[in-house]
Amino acid sequence: MEEANGVCNGTVESRRPPHVAMLVTPGMGHLIPLAELAKRLAARHGVTATLITFASTASATQRAFLATLPPSISAVSLPPVDLSDLAPDAAIETLMSEECVRLVPALTGILSGLRETTRLVAFVADLFGADSFDAAVAAGVPRRYLFFPTNLHGLTLILHLPDLDVSLPGEFRDLAEPVRLPGCVPIPGTDILSPLQDKSNPSYRWMVHHGKRYRDADAILVNSFDAVEPDAIAALRVPEQGRPPVYNIGPLTQTNAASPAPRAACLEWLDRQPPKSVIFVSFGSGGSLPREQMHELALGLEQSGQRFLWVVRSPSDEGAVNANYYDAESKKDPLAYLPDGFVERTKDVGLLVPSWAPQIKVLAHEATGGFLVHCGWNSVLESLVHGVPMVAWPLFAEQRQNAVMLTEGVGAAIRVPETKKKEEIAAVVREVMVGQGKGAEVRAKVAELQKAAEEGLGEGGAATSALDGVVHKWIGGEEK
Ligand code: UDP
């Protein structure tokens, strides 16, 4: 059949909707923004999409999320891949990168199939998926894009890694001076991306490798917006030989999140709280705290005198702060680890939700006045989109870097001191919620960023125009 073989004449071909294939490396934090990009492409440009996921993340949370997507977006899972030869303590970044390379043949098969059944105009891979460009080339997909779900600071660092690998011997954490990159807030070595903190760990080599491979993309789409890192976007707009063009297309945050009936109990609870009186406490899809810090956080919240809504997970033993990464469900009853009497003492001002909360709805609620956040980029964007000032408590991945950028750069958060004592936690929480000094500045800045984000995503806004330009290249087809 002419059409099914994808060799049809221009008239038939142009009647089929353009289709994009997106590779989603593990983590809800990767899936959510890519799905959002797919939704925007469908709504504005009539582009259909296939989200290609990894078998290792076929969790109930992920399945439920995929089930909420509109019919223009389908999902297909890659087959399971054997990683049993890797070290038992291999870093997440290593697992994802290895999975991606080992899945190139299977992905080539899926992309070849999509070329036959759809008008496949582009392949988009996310930050750990650049090796999958090989599959796109083998399957003859015309364009390869990288979707970077965090920010320009993170992207700039990865793009510079192959050079830094040569120019900065030794460990980042031992550097006397912060790392200075074009347009970026100087980042102290200890706050640099966690997989780069031990150069003997394979995850470091993988990141250097990704920094090289990003250059194979036709362009890089970033889930950030100009107002939150103005100097970084200015630096990246200066063309550089061999570096793909970079477009800010964010903030893409989850819209039309599923509304399970009955409405979540925590939202009913928020309905009963005064406006902007509650601090929401959450550490992303997979973060959990060591026992000791969980204890101090509980007492700090209590001492702050502020109302709180806390998504509690059982503690990470032996410092494995990303223990829940591949599956957001807490393995044990997390409430059992709280200080004695805490639940009873705080029952009138606090609500504890085990494992998972409808975060977008919580942030959108008028009772929410602050967000104690692990600085995962999706959470940060969701906070900014809803005008919620932040208390930064970074854990792993690029979260410490994000905390530096938010606190030392744009000024949208105050960071909890490294010592994490209950008095310090209480003071920072109070300042962000009701303080008249730094807290008031942060609240004003966040209101400004909320407005800028909204304008950018509106008709004629910077993010909308950038994505329009990209799609024009896909559909126009004459240039990449
Ligand atoms: N999330 C949620 N409920 C939770 C925890 C997380 O809805 O209880 C969502 C959150 O809204 C965000 C994503 O999961 O969209 C977490 O992504 P982020 O980049 O913030 O952190 P990561 O999970 O990658 O550490």
Tell me the domains of the chain and their CATH numbers.
Answer: 2-251+458-479 (3.40.50.2000), 265-455 (3.40.50.2000)
Could you give the CA distance from residue 237 to residue 259 in angstroms, rounded to a whole number?
A: 40
pLDDT of residue 2: 35
pLDDT for 223 beyond 60: yes
- 219 CA from centroid of ligand 1 (Å): 26
Looking at residues 298-310, what average pLDDT do you find?
98
- Separation of alpha carbons 263 and 88, rounded Å: 40
User: Token digits for 317?
Assistant: 């033993």
Are residues 174 and 167 in contact, defined by beta-carbon separation less than 8 angstroms?
Answer: no
Q: Does 28 sit in the ligand 1 pocket, CB within 6 Å?
A: yes
Ligand 1 in contact with 27 (CB < 6 A)? Answer: yes
Q: Does 126 qualify as catalytic in the annotation?
A: yes
Residues with Cβ within 8 Å of 124's Cβ and at least 6 positions away in sequence, in order, are 20, 21, 22, 23, 34, 37, 144, 145, 146, 147, 221
- Tell whether the model's pLDDT for residue 412 goes beyond 90: yes
CB atoms within 10 A of CB 430: 19
Predicted confidence at residue 9, as pLDDT, reads 45
CB 374 within 8 A of CB 271: no
Q: Comparing 118 with 61, which gets the higher pLDDT?
A: 118
Q: What whole-number distance in Å separates Cα of residue 378 and Cα of residue 287?
A: 14
Confidence of residue 257 (pLDDT cuts 50, 70, 90): low
How many whole angstroms from its chain centre is CA 384?
A: 14
pLDDT in tens, 104-115: 999 999 999 999
Number of the ligand 1 atom closest to the C-alpha atom of 399: 25
Bond prior to 79 in cis (omega within 30° of 0): no
- Calculate how far, in angstroms, residue 284's C-alpha sits from the geometric centre of ligand 1: 4
Q: Is the pLDDT of residue 479 over 50?
A: no
> Any idea how long the chain is?
480
- The residue-averaged pLDDT of 287-292 equals 92
Query: Does 165 participate in catalysis according to the annotation?
Result: no
Confidence of residue 57 (pLDDT cuts 50, 70, 90): confident
Nearest to 368 by CA among 277, 306, 307: 277
Helical packing angle, 422-434 and 291-304, nearest 10°: 50
Q: Is the peptide bond before 389 cis (omega within 30 degrees of 0)?
A: no
Residue 264 amino acid letter: A
Ligand 1 neighbour 62 (Cβ under 6 A): no
224 CB under 6 A from ligand 1? no
- Are 387 and 296 contacting, i.e. CB atoms less than 8 angstroms apart? no
